[in-house]
């Protein structure tokens, strides 16, 4: 992956050539709920949760400031609930609660590895975790804690992709790291179309014009307006986040 550091928080080159250096100092990692279920049909797979927690802790160990926006599709997806007859706003609220369950599990898994973490929810539930505020999130990042952001935007009709782009803009992040099941952005679903071609680099405008489904249009547009690059990579391999963060992994860069 050939990507240049972006934004005011981009880290300088590491003085130790043998030690990977993060290409971006502060990032939002967008992690789907499905990524946490591993080979299960739903819920949390403990081995997968541990692997991702290891990876996030290692990424923080490189010196990067890490925020994670986590989805809830391994428990409940609002759009699917709406398709089954639940009012869309209510279905999305259920989905937001699912993201909190994942955030709490991920927070605990990360802290078991000796890496401080804090779960913050856009849907206030102070008896469970800290309510999200920009000031609180920035404070935890400054203290070296991994911040897990739950509850999406706190509003129905918005995806967690849009939530990731919103939080990246709010927290002055240098990049959005979109973890998927494939190693970048393709012209079509490579699992269904063997002729699908993979992009090394795209602009936000190209991603929107080509209607590439790796993120929704609102997320792409918000990232474009704030000139935040999006790094699309596969979460399937161990240390995938660390590799993408250090520019060593196979990924697609969507940038201005």
Higher pLDDT, 124 or 18: 124
The answer as to whether 94 is a domain residue is yes
3-state secondary structure of 177: strand
The answer as to whether 9 is a domain residue is no
Chain-centre distance for alpha carbon 45: 18
Chain-centre distance for alpha carbon 167: 10
Q: For residue 83, what pLDDT is reported?
A: 83
pLDDT band for 19, please (50, 70, 90 cuts). Answer: low
Higher pLDDT, 84 or 151: 151
The answer as to whether 98 is a domain residue is yes
pLDDT band for 76, please (50, 70, 90 cuts). Answer: very high
pLDDT band for 11, please (50, 70, 90 cuts). Answer: very low
Q: For residue 191, what pLDDT is reported?
A: 85
pLDDT in tens, 233-244: 999 988 999 999
The answer as to whether 117 is a domain residue is yes
pLDDT in tens, 77-112: 888 788 888 999 999 999 999 999 999 999 999 999
180 Rama class: left (phi>0) / alpha (psi -120 to 50) / beta: beta
Strand partners, 175: 27
Q: Element (H or E) spanning 163, and its range?
A: helix 160-170
Q: For residue 185, what pLDDT is reported?
A: 94
pLDDT band for 1, please (50, 70, 90 cuts). Answer: low
Overall pTM > 0.85: yes
Quote the mean pLDDT of the chain. Answer: 91
Tell me the DSSP string of 208-242: HHTT-TTS-HHHHHHHHHTT--EEEEESSSTTHHH
Inter-helix orientation angle 134-142/160-170, to 10°: 70
Q: Write phi, then psi, for 146 (nearest 5 degrees).
A: -75, 130
Calculate the dihedral angle through the C-alpha atoms of 223, 197, 160, 52, rounding to the nearest 10 degrees.
Answer: -110
Chain-centre distance for alpha carbon 13: 24
Cβ-based burial of 34 (10 A; exposed 0-12, middle 13-18, buried ≥19): middle
What are 85's two structure tokens? 């007859």
Q: Element (H or E) spanning 131, and its range?
A: strand 130-131
The mean per-residue pLDDT over the stretch 12-41 comes to 82
Q: What share of the chain has pLDDT > 90, as a percent?
A: 81
Q: What share of the chain has pLDDT > 70, as a percent?
A: 93
The answer as to whether 170 is a domain residue is yes
**Residue 246 lies in domain:** 26-254
In which residue are the tokens 């080979």 written?
Answer: 39
The answer as to whether 51 is a domain residue is yes
CB 124 within 8 A of CB 151: no
CB 149 within 8 A of CB 72: no
In which residue are the tokens 């790094």 written?
Answer: 231
Which among 63, 8, 28 has a CA at the least distance from the CA of 168?
28
| Beta-carbon contacts of residue 101 (< 8 Å; ≥ 6 apart) | 72, 75
The answer as to whether 231 is a domain residue is yes
Q: Residue 88 maps to which CATH number?
A: 3.40.1160.10
Least confident interval from 74-88, 96-110, 115-129, 142-156: 74-88
Task: Domain count for the chain, please give it.
Answer: 1
Q: For residue 77, what pLDDT is reported?
A: 83
């Amino acid at each position: 992956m050939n990507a240049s550091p972006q934004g005011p928080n981009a880290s300088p080159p590491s003085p130790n050539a043998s030690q990977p250096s993060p290409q971006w100092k502060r990032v939002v990692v967008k992690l789907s709920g499905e990524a946490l279920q591993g080979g299960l049909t739903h819920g949390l797979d403990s081995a997968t949760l541990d692997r991702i927690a290891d990876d996030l802790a290692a990424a923080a160990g490189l010196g990067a400031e890490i925020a994670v926006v986590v989805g809830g599709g391994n428990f409940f997806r609002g759009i699917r609930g709406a398709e089954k007859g639940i009012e869309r706003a209510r279905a999305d609220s259920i989905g937001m609660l699912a993201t909190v369950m994942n955030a709490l599990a991920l927070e605990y898994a990360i802290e078991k590895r000796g890496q401080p973490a804090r779960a913050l929810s856009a849907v206030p539930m102070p008896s469970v975790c800290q309510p999200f505020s920009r000031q609180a999130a920035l404070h935890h990042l400054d203290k070296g804690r991994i911040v897990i952001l739950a509850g999406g935007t706190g509003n129905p009709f918005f995806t967690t992709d849009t939530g990731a782009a919103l939080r990246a803009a709010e927290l002055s992040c240098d990049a959005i790291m979109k973890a998927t099941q494939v190693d970048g952005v393709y012209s079509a679903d490579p699992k269904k179309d063997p002729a699908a071609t993979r992009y090394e680099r795209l602009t936000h405008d190209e991603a929107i014009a080509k209607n590439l489904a790796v993120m929704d249009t609102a997320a792409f547009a918000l990232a474009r307006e704030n000139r935040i690059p999006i790094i699309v990579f596969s979460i399937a391999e161990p240390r995938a986040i660390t590799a993408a963060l250090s520019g060593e992994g196979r990924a697609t860069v969507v940038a201005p």
